[in-house]
Amino acid sequence: MDARDPITSTRGVGPVLGRRLAAAGCRRIVDLLAHLPLRYEDRRTLGRLPGADEEDGTESAAPGPLTVVARLENVKRVFGRRRFSRVEAVACDGAARVGVVWFNRPYLARQLEEGVPYLLHGPLRRRGGDGPWQLSNPSVERISGEKPCGGGLRPVYGRIGEVPPSRVARLAADAIRDLRDASGPDWIDEWLPREERTKHQLPRLAEALTEVHSPSPEASIEDLNARRSPAHARLAYGEFLLQQLQLAVARCQRRRSGKPHRYRVDGAAWTAATGLLPFRLTGGQERVLGEIADDLARKEPMLRLVQGDVGSGKTVLAALSCLIAARSDLQSALMAPTELLAEQHFASLEGLLGPHMTIALVTSSQRVASDGGAVEERIAAGRIDLVVGTHALIEERTRFARLGLAVIDEQHRFGVVQRQSLARKGLRPDLLVMTATPIPRSLALTVYGDLDVSILDEMPPGRRPIETRVTTDGGMEEAVEEVRRRLESGGRAYVVFPLIDGGEGAAAGLPSLRESGPNWVRALAAPCGVVHGRLRRQERDETMSRFAAGSIQVLLATTVIEVGVDVPEATAMVILGAERFGLAQLHQLRGRIGRGTDPALGEPLCIAIAGQPSSEAERRLEVFAASTDGFRIAEEDMRQRGPGEILGTRQAGLPQFRFGDLARDWALLVAARQDASELLDRLADPGNDALRRQLERRVPGLVAPEAGDPRP
């Protein structure tokens, strides 16, 4: 018997159960063992049943469930109102008698035998609060002669597909016992090199799996339940290491494959390009630009993510890189998430670089070149240096003669999809991904293990810090006053609504554009425009342009403005129903204001108005008000919502971990990343055969399934 044998080779699994397990992705014994218990029950201390007058049943008066050995009497099924029934019995441990009740387990009435000892484990309560003692829904297990105690640390499982938890528990326990009987204590291939195991003091794989499924009596229940036991650490580390090795191998292959183009520039060219800017780069920009320049000079394609808050000057760096490409006779593409942003980029890049290169705008509604000529053919002929457009640019028909550099701007999902579509077209340009939504460092390491990350953590000089106030509906008038003051001094304002019109959400007291919008128009007494996702794009873009030009002073909007136009005069933002927004989203919205440096505009102010915040929303808003640091906010966001939510992992095709948890096991992840890059050189060693095999198959079950795999 081997752990990688089909699940049907384990005791108690016939063809029917085998099919049910397989339907849930459990085909081999290891797949079963990869289903870790959800939690553990401590049944190491046997208690006794309380007498009727006793305060508490357990000797030690320890809180929590009671474990007792007792015989059952009077087992019967009791029918209540409707079709609900319960099973009742009386438990007797020789000294005291206590009622027992089970809900939703009618079959127990048939199964339980009177007069024989059972091990019961469950909460002990007084009926109705002050009535007689009762054991409620305890687990119940017949005690056989061979294990008189039957206690210990008991794993509790979830269901696997349609197979109930109790069945899973039995299968797992039997499988572990049989494997050990058949093959000894080291019953599954150890693939983690001894060096790594020793370094991190991790148990062998067989030991770890044995320990999580049948913990030894001296194990710490707290560690087990928190998934911080040495056994859990071994599984998480192993999973991280394989994933990091996979990324490291991919990175290595990318290096070897090289890129088809070369840049013909030196430091002087970069200095000259920088000299075209009407300002001096910040220290942060200098540093990141240096990193980009190094990447471009290399033989392998660049894969770099630049993270920096809105307004930190990322796009400027992209522009310089495109100019350098043009100087090397290579084309570049700059992709923005919306048409409007693409147009805005086109306009500002033309202003900046127009005299030095040919720039074209390609969107679904426009095709224009800075010098007026035909666009498509000239891109294909290599006579346009920079093409600005939406993401569709690389997905659709635009053909480049010599695409050397692709820049993806404000890409929240980090270009995974774009990378794939470029690869499909057989293009290997240098890739620069820019995002203002910082991702926590832990995520950057795993998800972008093959991306190099640059961080712009410095704002251009002259920016005014944004003040943020969080208030309730009572603060509405004050908000109106503050906004009016800023409008009077030439500023512009956003009022953000959680809903377009009433309906379900409005019943919960959330303001909508349609219902509350008119009040704001009256109260602010300034030219207002409305944008939301249901307007035609053209109409939306027109309103935004008028807002940018100043003929509209207030934009009443939904979150469509989250990724939006750069309007330096915008100094005020009111966010209504702020309890409804996530931290990252709030931060992104706030980034729309305070982008100007004109002191006459006054201090930028963001007012978040929360109607009925939950305590969690309150915490969120507290963090929002206290910090404008995107990275702090991202970490907090991940703590509150979990990594999957942040990345929209499923859509983006990113790895998910089965054993490891990015927040909990952060230290293990960092270690695994470090170890992976060192292991790469030792991978071919004969001693690492097992690791290599493991890496090659990324065993389903013991390793996180690849995204797209329907396995749980």
Residues in touch with ligand ADP (CB under 6 A): 279-282, 285, 308, 310-316, 436, 460
Choose one: 65-73, 228-236, 312-320, 395-403; the region binding Mg ion (CB under 5 A).
312-320
Instruction: Report what 25 binds from Mg ion, ligand ADP, none; CB cut-off 5-8 Å by kind.
Output: none
Q: Site residues for Mg ion, window 532-551 (CB under 5 A)?
A: none
Residue whose Cβ sits closest to ligand ADP: 313
| Min dist. Cβ of residue 307 to Mg ion (A) | 12
Q: With respect to Mg ion, which residue has the nearer C-beta, 282 or 315? A: 315
226 backbone φψ class: left, alpha, beta (φ>0; ψ -120 to 50):
alpha
* 411 sits near Mg ion (criterion: CB under 5 A): no
| Min dist. Cβ of residue 197 to Mg ion (A) | 46
| Min dist. Cβ of residue 558 to ligand ADP (A) | 21
Q: With respect to Mg ion, which residue has the nearer C-beta, 139 or 315? A: 315
- The residue written with tokens 């499923």 in the block is 650
- For residue 110, give both structure tokens: 């048939």
| Min dist. Cβ of residue 205 to ligand ADP (A) | 46
Q: How far apart are CA 208 and CA 188, in angstroms?
A: 11
Show Cβ contacts of residue 145 under 8 Å, excluding neighbours closer than 6 positions: none
Q: With respect to Mg ion, which residue has the nearer C-beta, 315 or 411? A: 315
Instruction: Report what 642 binds from Mg ion, ligand ADP, none; CB cut-off 5-8 Å by kind.
Output: none
Number of residues that bind Mg ion (CB under 5 A): 1
Q: How far apart are CA 213 and CA 403, in angstroms?
A: 54
Q: With respect to ligand ADP, which residue has the nearer C-beta, 313 or 705? A: 313
Q: With respect to ligand ADP, which residue has the nearer C-beta, 102 or 414? A: 414
| Min dist. Cβ of residue 385 to ligand ADP (A) | 19
Q: How far is CA 166 from the centre of its chain?
A: 32
Rounded to 5°, angle at Cα 156 from 155 and 160:
120
Q: With respect to ligand ADP, which residue has the nearer C-beta, 310 or 583? A: 310
Residue whose Cβ sits closest to Mg ion: 315
| Min dist. Cβ of residue 458 to ligand ADP (A) | 9
Choose one: 201-209, 308-316, 417-425, 568-576; the region binding Mg ion (CB under 5 A).
308-316
Q: Phi first, then psi: what are they for 275, rounded to 5°?
A: -65, -20
Q: With respect to ligand ADP, which residue has the nearer C-beta, 282 or 454? A: 282
| Min dist. Cβ of residue 304 to Mg ion (A) | 15
3-class DSSP assignment, residue 515: helix
| Min dist. Cβ of residue 279 to ligand ADP (A) | 4
Compute the residue count for the chain: 712
Q: Are 297 and 447 in contact (CB under 8 A)?
A: no
Q: With respect to ligand ADP, which residue has the nearer C-beta, 50 or 313? A: 313
Q: With respect to Mg ion, which residue has the nearer C-beta, 568 or 602? A: 568
| Min dist. Cβ of residue 589 to ligand ADP (A) | 14
Q: With respect to ligand ADP, which residue has the nearer C-beta, 310 or 388? A: 310
Q: Are 157 and 38 in contact (CB under 8 A)?
A: yes
Q: Are 404 and 387 in contact (CB under 8 A)?
A: no
Instruction: Report what 67 binds from ligand ADP, Mg ion, none; CB cut-off 5-8 Å by kind.
Output: none
| Min dist. Cβ of residue 496 to ligand ADP (A) | 19
| 66, β-bridge pairs | 122
**Secondary structure (H, E, C), 158-225:** CCECCECHHHHHHHHHHHHHHHHHHHCCCCCCCCCCHHHHHHHCCCCHHHHHHHHHCCCCCCCHHHHH
- For 290, the enclosing helix (H) or strand (E) is helix 283-297
| Min dist. Cβ of residue 408 to ligand ADP (A) | 12
Q: What share of the chain is helix, strand, coil (3-state, %, to 5)?
A: 40, 20, 40
| Min dist. Cβ of residue 321 to Mg ion (A) | 13
CA torsion angle 187 188 192 195 (round to 10): 10
- For residue 79, give both structure tokens: 């029918």
Instruction: Report what 412 binds from ligand ADP, Mg ion, none; CB cut-off 5-8 Å by kind.
Output: none
Instruction: Report what 404 binds from Mg ion, ligand ADP, none; CB cut-off 5-8 Å by kind.
Output: none
Q: With respect to ligand ADP, which residue has the nearer C-beta, 460 or 644? A: 460
| Min dist. Cβ of residue 45 to ligand ADP (A) | 60
Q: Are 479 and 473 in contact (CB under 8 A)?
A: no
Instruction: Report what 279 binds from Mg ion, ligand ADP, none; CB cut-off 5-8 Å by kind.
Output: ligand ADP
Instruction: Report what 107 binds from ligand ADP, Mg ion, none; CB cut-off 5-8 Å by kind.
Output: none
Choose one: 187-195, 309-317, 468-476, 695-703; the region binding Mg ion (CB under 5 A).
309-317
Instruction: Report what 311 binds from Mg ion, ligand ADP, none; CB cut-off 5-8 Å by kind.
Output: ligand ADP
- For residue 201, give both structure tokens: 């003091």
Q: With respect to ligand ADP, which residue has the nearer C-beta, 313 or 415? A: 313
| Min dist. Cβ of residue 411 to ligand ADP (A) | 12
| 134, β-bridge pairs | 99, 125
Q: With respect to ligand ADP, which residue has the nearer C-beta, 246 or 282? A: 282
3-class DSSP assignment, residue 97: strand
Q: Phi first, then psi: what are they for 520, rounded to 5°?
A: -70, -40
- For residue 118, give both structure tokens: 């059972």
Instruction: Report what 282 binds from Mg ion, ligand ADP, none; CB cut-off 5-8 Å by kind.
Output: ligand ADP
Q: Are 500 and 513 in contact (CB under 8 A)?
A: yes
Q: How far apart are CA 198 and CA 279, in angstroms?
A: 54
Tell which one of 229, 315, 446, 543 touches Mg ion (CB under 5 A): 315
Q: How far apart are CA 514 and CA 537, in angstroms?
A: 19
Q: With respect to Mg ion, which residue has the nearer C-beta, 315 or 649? A: 315
Show Cβ contacts of residue 40 under 8 Å, excluding neighbours closer than 6 positions: 153, 154, 155, 156, 215, 221, 224, 225
Show Cβ contacts of residue 502 under 8 Å, excluding neighbours closer than 6 positions: 512, 514, 515
- For residue 282, give both structure tokens: 């910040």
Bridge-based pairing state of the strands 133-136 and 139-142 = unpaired
Interacting residues with Mg ion (CB under 5 A): 315
